[in-house]
Amino acid sequence: MNILHLKYAVEIARVGSLSQAAQNLILAQPNLSRSIKELESDIGIKIFERSVKGMKITPDGEEFIGYAKEILNHIDHVDKIYKMGAAKKQKFSISVPRACYISEAFAEFSKSLPDSNVEIFYKETNSQRAINNILNAGYKLGIIRYAQNYDKYFKAMLSEKDFVYEMIAEFSYCLIMSRNSPLAEKETITFDDLEDYIRIAHADPYVPSLSMAKVVREELPDNISRCIYIFERASQFDLLSKNLKTFMWVSPAPKEILERYNLVQRKCECNKKIYKDVLIYKKGYKLTELDKHFITELCQSKRRNII
C-alpha cells in the first residue's frame, strides 16, 4: 500500500472532487485517477462512486478513509518527533574523574545552556568506565586521569581503540583537610605527618594491563594504615569537614569549594608524583558547539585553579 495513495484518497474525500483534489495536490487529474484505481485494486474495495456531481464516498470507502487518516496522523507525528524534534535537540555527554575544578567548569557551562531541547549527561567515574562509556554507552566525551608513569599504558590503549586524546591539565596532588585539623596548622607537611590520620580515597582506580591491587599499593603511602574508600564526592566533603582526623589527596580545588566546606588545601613536600587529566573522544567524532563551550569552561577553570 502506497502512503501517497492514502494521502490522495483522503484529499479527494475531503473536497469531494477529483479535479479539485488534483489541483490541491498539484497532480495531473489522469494520474490522480489512476492512483486511486490502483489503491482500490490493492485493497479490494470501492472507495469512491464516480458521477457527474463528483466523487461520492462508499460505505466501505468511509471506513477505509477513517483508517487512512489515523495512519497519516501517526506518520506525521513520527515525522515531527524524529525529523524536526531530534534535529533541533542538542545533546552533551561526558564521563569525568571526581575533580572539583572539572565540576566547577560544568557548573559554569550549565549557566548558558539553550532555553529548550537540550539533554545533558555528566558522570563522575574512573578512567576505565569513562572509556567504556564512549565505546558502549553512547557517551561522546571523556576525561581520564592517570599518573604520568602510566602514560605509555594509556596512550597505547587509546591508540588501539581509535581515540583522539588531548591533555587538559598536569599537576601534583594537594592535601585537603578541615580548617580545624591539626594538619592545617603545619607550614609544611610530610608523609610522616600523615601517619596517624585517616585517608579518604576514591575506591576505583584503574590502569590498563595492571591489577587494581598493584595500583592501590603504588598510590598509597606505606605508612597509612587507615583508609576510607568512597565513590562520590558528597561523602568526601562531609567526612573531611566533620572528622578532623581525615585528609584527602586531590587535584587543586577551587577556593569557593574549600570555603563552603570549611576546608584548607596544603602541599606536601614529599609528593613528587605528576598526574594528567586527558580529554578523549572517538576518531571521526565532530565536536559540537556544546562540546566546545564545555572545553572552553574547562580550560578557564584549569587556569584559575591549577598553576
- Taking a C-beta distance cutoff of 8 angstroms, is the pair 47, 57 a contact? yes
User: pLDDT tens digits for 16-28?
Assistant: 999 999 999 999 9
Lowest mean pLDDT among 11-15, 73-77, 251-255: 73-77
**Alpha-carbon span 210 to 153, nearest angstrom:** 9
How, if at all, do strands 174-178 and 246-250 pair? antiparallel
User: pLDDT tens digits for 201-251?
Assistant: 987 654 444 444 454 445 545 578 899 998 888 889 999 999 999 999 999
Q: Which three cell numbers stand for residue 64?
A: 477505509
Q: Between these two residues, 301 and 224, which has the higher pLDDT value?
A: 301
- Provide DSSP, 86-111: HHH-EEEEEEE-S-HHHHHHHHHHHT
Phi, psi torsion values for 33, nearest 5 degrees = -60, -40
State the pTM of this model.
0.69
Task: With cut-offs at 50, 70 and 90, classify the pLDDT of residue 2.
Answer: confident
- Provide DSSP, 8-39: HHHHHHHHS-HHHHHHHHT--HHHHHHHHHHH
Mean pLDDT across 123-130: 92
**Alpha-carbon span 128 to 204, nearest angstrom:** 9
pLDDT attached to residue 217: 47
- Taking a C-beta distance cutoff of 8 angstroms, is the pair 247, 239 a contact? no
Lowest mean pLDDT among 45-54, 90-99, 198-207, 273-282: 198-207
**Alpha-carbon span 102 to 262, nearest angstrom:** 20
Q: Percent of the chain at pLDDT above 90?
A: 75
Q: Which residues pair with 200 in a beta bridge?
A: 228, 248
Q: Which three cell numbers stand for residue 304?
A: 584559575
**Alpha-carbon span 254 to 306, nearest angstrom:** 9
- Taking a C-beta distance cutoff of 8 angstroms, is the pair 95, 128 a contact? no
Say if residue 88's pLDDT is above 70. Answer: no
Q: Which domains does the chain have, with CATH numbers?
A: 3-87 (1.10.10.10), 89-165+281-307 (3.40.190), 173-272 (3.40.190.10)
pLDDT attached to residue 97: 94
- Taking a C-beta distance cutoff of 8 angstroms, is the pair 270, 191 a contact? yes
Say if residue 303's pLDDT is above 70. Answer: yes
- Taking a C-beta distance cutoff of 8 angstroms, is the pair 199, 227 a contact? yes
Q: Between these two residues, 82 and 199, which has the higher pLDDT value?
A: 199
**Alpha-carbon span 28 to 23, nearest angstrom:** 8
pLDDT attached to residue 83: 66
Q: Which three cell numbers stand for residue 225?
A: 594504615
What percent of the chain is helix, strand and coil (3-state, nearest 5)? 50, 25, 30
Q: Between these two residues, 223 and 125, which has the higher pLDDT value?
A: 125
